[in-house]
A and B are shown apart, each in its own frame.
Chain A
Amino acid sequence: MAFILKKAAISALVALGLFFLMIGIRTEAGSSGQLIYWTRFGELAAMVGAVFAGSIVIELLRRWIGPVGGVELPAGVRATFATLGRLLAPALLIFALLVPVIFYKERYLLDLGILVLTYVMLGWGLNIVVGLAGLLDLGYVAFYAVGAYSYALLAQSPLPLPHLVDGFPFVAFSMEQLGPWAFWVLLPVSGLLAALWGVILGFPVLRLRGDYLAIVTLAFGEIIRLVILNWQDLTGGPNGISGIPRPTVFGIPLTPGEHGFAAMIGVPFSPTHRLVFLFYLILALALLTNWATIRLRRLPIGRAWEAMREDEVACRALGINITTTKLSAFAIGAMFGGFAGAFFATRQGFISPESFTFQESALVLAIVVLGGMGSQLGVALAAIAMIGGFELFRGLDQFRMLVFGGVMVLLMIWRPRGLIGHRAPTVFLQKRTEISSSLVKEGHG
């Protein structure tokens, strides 16, 4: 007991040292530009007291619960858990399909669902780069931005396009004439442009690995953001782009008029229709990402990615072409990021550089790592937990990022290998086995 008290006292003392100036004294620029300050010793005392109490509680919990992870569950319980685990993915999918039906009246929940699914898709896209190929990418948001801006700019540009309709392929006409089909034509274009940027980033960083790769991708992400911010003629700079065309149900607009989707199927118009449509659209896009990933993992290129993640030198010795392996991972990951970006642009109708900061990259990376690097289900669960949790703290606006950062640190300490930390190899002899991720090395490439 004396030991616990002593430890708590030391923690409180450290907290006093940390917070005395930062919390005890509040500075602010006064009306005439000079600095003023006032003291807040009440808050300071509360914080130090909280640290003291918290330290005692943590220490007591540690004594009572004992070391975590030493508990061996009985076989029956483990079997139940395994069954539940197998049922989890189909259950989640069915739930996702039913969300617009269950929550049709709750616009906020539908919006949140769309947001979560956007991050699920981004997580699955980044998972190809980080989880499968083992290339640590801290600038993924750059491709998201490229996708969003490609769609926004092309949809409003008077660029001539080859006419593909009347059997006369090369009559130039304006992009605006695409009309209701703009989104469906430009979605693949945005994805391809993002993939192109993935290759452009991939080329210079072919020789880099690990932390160096991380920092170069971060720099790349920042360069893209700064160029978007400063190239005012093209992108509108900090004011962003507004009036981006909304998506249509394969050419039928979701508007109240008589040509709208509602009139077409004979129901009264409701703005919720668009939300429901957007929800299913992003769900389909996310599932496409997932399906592509699962299929790619079985192809030689997917196996090469996973081999490269585990050991790049051995890969090269076995004759795997590292250049194409890396570039394809960057390109395909970036392409799905670009799709997600185009979706984001059409959902918001407005984009600005503020949506593409490093925080977004860090959030997506946190989702992938927390999900267990390479586990599709884990990434989906992590996205639901992170974005859902993030929304819970919407009320405490200022404290939101503070809590988010703190949670990120705690989660890493609690489960550095993520929520689903095992590996199911795609290639196996006779029997499917699972490998604990603490046995795989990954990560030096």
Chain B
Amino acid sequence: MDYFFQQLINGLVLGSIYGLIAIGYTMVYGIVGMINFAHGDIFMIGGFIALITFLILVSIGLTMVPVILLLVLLVAMAVTALYGWTVERIAYRPLRQSFRLAPMLSAIGMSFVLSNFAQVSQGARVKPVPPIITGGYTLHDSGNFAVQLSNVQIVVVATTIVLLAVFSYIVARTRFGRDMRACEQDQTMAALLGVDVDRTISMTFVIGAALAAVAGMMYLLYYGLVDFFMGFIAGIKAFTAAVLGGIGSLPGAMLGGLAIGLIETFWSAYFSVEYKDVAAFSILIVVLIFMPTGLLGRPEVEKV
């Protein structure tokens, strides 16, 4: 039972990271109807930016951990958001009126560009960082197995919850959130009513990238390493999460992320680590076959 609870905690932490990435997918899919293949690599870039910022802050003599974390978070979000904006501007905006396959291939190309840019500029080797947040609590000790809750896990989940609250507020209550939802429903009509569609779409990419940067930083804190290839698998899994939750639905993305995190953790714990990715992808296939709209998605009505 203790083992189960430990895996539950681990799964929820991993799921929070997937959920943060999945929101970027689901937002972009909702507004422009394309799979942003480069989003996983945006997450990877976020991890790198966080690593580099952390290294600089430590080497200039900053020692207060909360201050460092906050600064790293802000820098990573800002710079990664700029990456998101640039990707949309260069690779997707010129193709917005094009046929469906073109932006998808352009996105795959952009994904190669980003991951290989990271490889060329930062080297192919895995970059480890020493644990930044240490310590934790023992929740329950049954003698031979102790359920641990580390401080890193608390930080990851707490940051996710706070950011989700801020993000939900932005989507539900602000002018930008209204614009975004309007563009999602009908871009032409939104434009006629004075919504700057281009700017709204850009902002969607910016916010999605900022959340992916947070996920990248959390990944760095939690696993203590980044490498240039981590975006691909994480990206597919996060997309799986978005589909599982119902693409286009923001709470669905978070729910899907948690589900994928839990499935992956339990699968590794009880069956085999080697096939954990196979498990996640099989879930994707099974969900799409039996529940194509996902957990919270709306059914798509097809018109002829």
Instruction: Decide if B110 touches A226 in the complex (CB within 8 Å).
Output: no
Interface residues in chain A, defined as those with a beta carbon under 8 Å from any beta carbon in chain B: 14, 17-23, 25-29, 33-35, 37, 136, 204-205, 207-208, 210-212, 214-216, 218-220, 222-223, 226-227, 230, 311, 313-314, 358-359, 362, 365-366, 369, 373, 398-399, 401-402, 404-409, 412-413, 416-417, 441-444
Which of B79, B86, B128, B292 is within 8 Å of A21, CB to CB? B79
Complex A-B, nearest 8 residue pairs according to Cβ-Cβ distance, in ascending order: A405-B112, A408-B109, A416-B102, A405-B113, A219-B281, A402-B116, A409-B109, A412-B106
Instruction: Decide if B35 touches A215 in the complex (CB within 8 Å).
Output: yes
Which of A27, A223, A412 is within 8 Å of B122, CB to CB? A27
Instruction: Decide if A204 touches B278 in the complex (CB within 8 Å).
Output: no
Interface residues in chain B, defined as those with a beta carbon under 8 Å from any beta carbon in chain A: 29, 34-35, 45, 48-49, 51-53, 55-56, 59, 75, 79, 82-83, 86, 90-91, 94-95, 98-106, 108-123, 125-130, 232, 236, 239-240, 243, 274-275, 277-278, 281-282, 284-285, 288-289, 292, 302, 304
A209 to chain B, nearest CB (A): 9
Cα(A136)–Cα(B105), bound, Å: 11
Instruction: Decide if A412 touches B52 in the complex (CB within 8 Å).
Output: no
Q: Can you name 21 A-B residue pairings with CB atoms under 8 Å?
A: A14-B82, A18-B86, A21-B48, A21-B52, A22-B52, A33-B128, A211-B34, A214-B35, A215-B236, A216-B284, A219-B236, A220-B285, A314-B304, A369-B102, A401-B115, A401-B116, A402-B112, A408-B105, A412-B106, A413-B91, A413-B94
Question: Given A136-B101, A443-B99, does the pair A204, B289 have CB atoms closer than 8 Å?
Answer: yes
Name the residue on A nearest B58 (C-beta). A35
Residues of A within 8 A of B103 (CB): 412
Cα(A359)–Cα(B94), bound, Å: 24
Residues of A within 8 A of B239 (CB): 215
B221 to chain A, nearest CB (A): 14
Instruction: Decide if B130 touches A207 in the complex (CB within 8 Å).
Output: no
Name the residue on B nearest A396 (C-beta). B120
Residues of B within 8 A of A407 (CB): 109
Question: Given A27-B127, A37-B59, A412-B106, does the pair A223, B282 have CB atoms closer than 8 Å?
Answer: yes
Which of A18, A26, A208 is within 8 Å of B79, CB to CB? A18
B60 to chain A, nearest CB (A): 12
Instruction: Decide if B121 touches A406 in the complex (CB within 8 Å).
Output: no
Which of A311, A373, A398 is within 8 Å of B119, CB to CB? A398
Which of B98, B102, B292 is within 8 Å of A208, CB to CB? B292
Question: Given A27-B127, A34-B130, does the pair A409, B106 have CB atoms closer than 8 Å?
Answer: yes
Cα(A442)–Cα(B56), bound, Å: 51
Residues of A within 8 A of B98 (CB): 412, 416
A235 to chain B, nearest CB (A): 13
Cα(A223)–Cα(B275), bound, Å: 9
Residues of A within 8 A of B125 (CB): 28-29
Instruction: Decide if B277 touches A226 in the complex (CB within 8 Å).
Output: yes
Cα(A70)–Cα(B303), bound, Å: 34
Question: Given A21-B52, A29-B126, A443-B101, does the pair A230, B275 have CB atoms closer than 8 Å?
Answer: yes
Question: Given A35-B127, A215-B243, does the pair A409, B117 have CB atoms closer than 8 Å?
Answer: no
Instruction: Decide if A227 touches B304 in the complex (CB within 8 Å).
Output: no
Instruction: Decide if B120 touches A399 in the complex (CB within 8 Å).
Output: yes
A306 to chain B, nearest CB (A): 16
Residue from B29, B101, B120 having most chain A Cβ neighbours under 10 A: B101
Cα(A415)–Cα(B84), bound, Å: 24
Question: Given A35-B127, A416-B95, does the pair A409, B101 have CB atoms closer than 8 Å?
Answer: no
Cα(A165)–Cα(B103), bound, Å: 55
Interface SS majority for chain A: helix
Instruction: Decide if B35 touches A362 in the complex (CB within 8 Å).
Output: no
Cα(A103)–Cα(B113), bound, Å: 34
Cα(A416)–Cα(B102), bound, Å: 5
Name the residue on B nearest A229 (C-beta). B274
Instruction: Decide if B236 touches A26 in the complex (CB within 8 Å).
Output: no
Question: Given A21-B79, A219-B240, A220-B285, does the pair A416, B99 have CB atoms closer than 8 Å?
Answer: yes
Cα(A37)–Cα(B58), bound, Å: 12
Instruction: Decide if B122 touches A211 in the complex (CB within 8 Å).
Output: no
Cα(A311)–Cα(B303), bound, Å: 11
Question: Given A22-B122, A207-B292, A211-B104, does the pair A408, B112 have CB atoms closer than 8 Å?
Answer: yes
Instruction: Decide if B82 touches A17 in the complex (CB within 8 Å).
Output: yes
Other 19 A-B pairs with CB < 8 A, given A215-B288, A399-B116, A443-B101: A18-B79, A21-B79, A22-B45, A22-B117, A26-B121, A27-B122, A35-B55, A136-B104, A205-B288, A226-B274, A226-B277, A226-B278, A314-B304, A365-B108, A366-B105, A369-B101, A369-B105, A408-B108, A412-B91
Instruction: Decide if A409 touches B91 in the complex (CB within 8 Å).
Output: yes
Instruction: Decide if B110 touches A23 in the complex (CB within 8 Å).
Output: no
Instruction: Decide if A27 touches B292 in the complex (CB within 8 Å).
Output: no
Instruction: Decide if B111 touches A405 in the complex (CB within 8 Å).
Output: yes
Residues of B within 8 A of A401 (CB): 112, 115-116
Residues of B within 8 A of A219 (CB): 236, 240, 281-282, 284-285
Cα(A236)–Cα(B240), bound, Å: 29
Residues of A within 8 A of B53 (CB): 21
Which of B55, B102, B106, B130 is within 8 Å of A27, CB to CB? B55
A137 to chain B, nearest CB (A): 12
Cα(A14)–Cα(B86), bound, Å: 8
Name the residue on A nearest B130 (C-beta). A34
B114 to chain A, nearest CB (A): 8
Question: Given A23-B121, A230-B274, does the pair A214, B104 have CB atoms closer than 8 Å?
Answer: yes
Instruction: Decide if A365 touches B105 in the complex (CB within 8 Å).
Output: yes
Instruction: Decide if B82 touches A18 in the complex (CB within 8 Å).
Output: yes
Residues of A within 8 A of B48 (CB): 21-22
Instruction: Decide if B240 touches A27 in the complex (CB within 8 Å).
Output: no
Residues of B within 8 A of A207 (CB): 289, 292
Cα(A37)–Cα(B48), bound, Å: 13
Cα(A405)–Cα(B282), bound, Å: 28
Cα(A358)–Cα(B115), bound, Å: 14
